[in-house]
Amino acid sequence: MDRAVADPPPAIPLVLIHGAGAVGQIWQNQLLAFPRAVAPDLPGHPSGAGLSTVSDMAAWVLEFLTRQEIERPVLGGYSVGGAVALEAALSAPQRLRGLLLIATGARLRVRQEFFDLLAGDWFSPATPPRVIERARSALRILSPAVVHDDFWAAHRFDALDRVAEITLPALVICGEQDRLTPPRYAEYLHEKIAGSQLVIIPNAGHMVVLEQPRATNEAIAAFLRGLA
């Protein structure tokens, strides 16, 4: 799989937060491409007690930055990780240099059919089976309680009325065939966050970071170069 970027990005710290039912390794293609990227596992993923609200997750991330002495990174989030990034930006914008919001929205609602068929809508029809299995394998190492709390935290998250307060540079990425957080979610973020950039990636569903890693990485690299 081609993960490279055509032009190496500047060495800006990049902290990447995984989504519900996942672990930091979901960012494996970005960790290979960006030398100063880190992707921590949120509590309970799989070690320790999990957190049940996006606000608590955002507070944990800000504490992680302090512990690791990471100053003003670009904070990236995938799915509910994007909600965590939004919440962190709203509560402590001075701690961040920019935002990377992937397959996420200002409000997340978990449909009942998602629980009934856990991975059914995550992917583009063109996604190779090996990529689908890689994503599903993360779910198997987490406790059912943590997975449940992750998705209910996502379901309760709502920043529709606050997201316009964000003034940080932001890149919004969405898979064109994402049915869980469809392009209209990304378009809303782009509309409300002044000066933000929007990239819709073809032939990708909700797992765009795994489905189209090169296109995702090129978009991230261009955004980081713009911040340099």
What pLDDT is attached to residue 87? Answer: 98
Rank 60-74, 98-112, 145-159 by mean pLDDT and report only the highest. Answer: 60-74
Residue 9: asked if its preceding bond is cis (omega within 30°), the reply is no
Which position has the higher pLDDT, 152 or 125?
152
What pLDDT is attached to residue 122? Answer: 60
Averaged over 113-135, what is the pLDDT? Answer: 62
DSSP category for residue 160:
T
What pLDDT is attached to residue 140? Answer: 67
End-to-end Cα separation, the chain, in angstroms: 28
Instruction: Label residue 119 by pLDDT band (50, 70, 90).
Output: very low
Say how far apart CA 19 and CA 102 lie, in whole Å: 10
What pLDDT is attached to residue 111? Answer: 60
Angstrom CA distances, 217 to 10, 77, 102, 115, 127, stand at: 13, 14, 12, 30, 18
Which position has the higher pLDDT, 105 or 122?
105
Position 107 pLDDT exceeds 50: yes
> Where do runs of H (alpha helix) occur along 92-203?
112-116, 129-140, 144-156, 183-192
**Candidates 3.40.50.1100, 3.40.50.150, 3.40.50.1820, 2.60.40.2550; correct CATH number of 14-227?**
3.40.50.1820
- For residue 79, is it left (φ>0), alpha (ψ between -120 and 50) or beta? left
Say how far apart CA 212 and CA 1 lie, in whole Å: 9
At 52, which amino acid appears?
S
Collect all residues with Cβ–Cβ distance below 8 Å to 24 and sequence separation of at least 6.
16, 18, 39, 40, 41, 45
159-180: per-residue pLDDT in tens? 999 999 999 999 999 999 998 8
